[in-house]
Amino acid sequence: MLWRALVSVGLSGGSLKILRPRTFCAVKLSMTSEGNAAEKGRMQYRPHLLTGEAAEKDWVQSLELTGAKSFMLKQARERPLRTLILYGSLRNRSYSRLLAYEFARILDLLGAEVRVFDPSGLPIKDDASEAHPKVVELRELSMWSEAHVWCCPEQHGTITAVFKNQIDWIPLSLGSVRPTQGRTLAIAQVNGGSQSFNTVNILRVLGRWMRMVTIPNQSSVPKAWTEFDEDGRMKESGLRDRVVDVAEELYKFSLLVRDHSSFLVDRYSERKEKREKGRLLSQAEKEAARLAAAQAAATANAAAAATAETLAVGAETAAANVLTE
């Protein structure tokens, strides 16, 4: 009876779907190769998943997050929060990547649908690489997302080139669509030395420029090489507790904001532009329109000046004719 109460089974299109409450794992058993391919594609963004003994020892599973897990439960079950995580280092033992994985595991526990982007192979921002597979992948993930987590090392007092390159490839607009506008954002940094907040401050500025709703809390991990064990897991400490705090806060803020983000970022100036132009214009289109208007005005002024000169000459000629008569 308990199984029947917890499980609903439906058959459609040759697929068997088994749906359980979020406290269990939602399972989809597909009989199609398309389903297997989709699951394989999804798994490439989940390198943080643990198996075997590592899963059994996972400290995340013992976290008391009942309040957040039960918050807006119906909506969270029907639409798991789509969360994109970015990190800023390509080193074999990258502490920003290890921190990103810890965020991913906590958000998984809360019930989010998490995808971690691997920046390896992403070209340096230029004018010729927009069709590059990694660029397309990153932009599609940003469009898919409802929330972001940004984890970046501090290098020379600022963010790394690896991280900034990812942000540079996410445009403020794609036609009339803004890939980050209204998304919620959590920020975190790792330090090789003493604690600093330079990087999270810069990330917060970037989030504002990307029109994102950046949560108040943040994480900065000093001497990161001392805070992770040999398996890449974060050691128990107040710093780890802060990471849990940030993930939990992002989850709550995101559930509150996501269904209202379009309203919250609805701007008078953009409504006016859509009404007058039919859509939002890119900056290049606005500049071209400005130059075209300036050129048209200059042409009109030149024509008016020529007309005035012609009239003046005509008036002088008429006056001369009168005097002659």
Residues counted in the chain: 325
Cβ-contact 166, 86 below 8 angstroms: yes
Same domain assignment for residues 129 and 198: yes
Q: Does residue 305 lie in a domain region?
A: no
Q: Which domain holds residue 154?
A: 67-262
User: In the block, which residue shows the tokens 């932009």?
Assistant: 139
Q: Kindly report each contact of residues 275-284 with a partner whose C-beta sits within 8 Å and lies 24 or more positions away, as own/partner.
A: 279/175, 279/176, 280/173, 280/175, 280/176, 282/173, 282/175
pLDDT recorded at residue 65: 94
Torsion sign over Cα 177, 181, 184, 188 = positive
- Total structural domains in the chain? 3
Q: Does residue 283 lie in a domain region?
A: yes
Q: Does residue 94 lie in a domain region?
A: yes
pLDDT recorded at residue 325: 65
Edge-to-edge order in the sheet of strand 15-19: 8-12, 15-19, 27-30
What is the spatial distance between Cα 325 and Cα 319, in angstroms, rounded to a whole number?
A: 10
What is the spatial distance between Cα 95 and Cα 87, in angstroms, rounded to a whole number?
A: 9
pLDDT recorded at residue 227: 97
Same domain assignment for residues 286 and 201: no
Cβ-contact 111, 145 below 8 angstroms: no
Given a cut of 70, the residues of the chain with pLDDT beneath it are 1-41, 173-177, 325
Same domain assignment for residues 124 and 232: yes
Same domain assignment for residues 278 and 246: no
Same domain assignment for residues 212 and 107: yes
pLDDT recorded at residue 278: 86
pLDDT recorded at residue 22: 36
Same domain assignment for residues 271 and 258: no
Same domain assignment for residues 115 and 216: yes
Q: Does residue 78 lie in a domain region?
A: yes
Q: Does residue 225 lie in a domain region?
A: yes
Tell me whether residue 211 is exposed, middle or buried, using C-beta atoms within 10 angstroms of its C-beta: 0 to 12, 13 to 18, 19 or more. Answer: middle
pTM of the model: 0.75
pLDDT recorded at residue 27: 32
Q: Does residue 319 lie in a domain region?
A: no
pLDDT recorded at residue 199: 96
What is the spatial distance between Cα 162 and Cα 69, in angstroms, rounded to a whole number?
A: 33
Cβ-contact 165, 159 below 8 angstroms: no
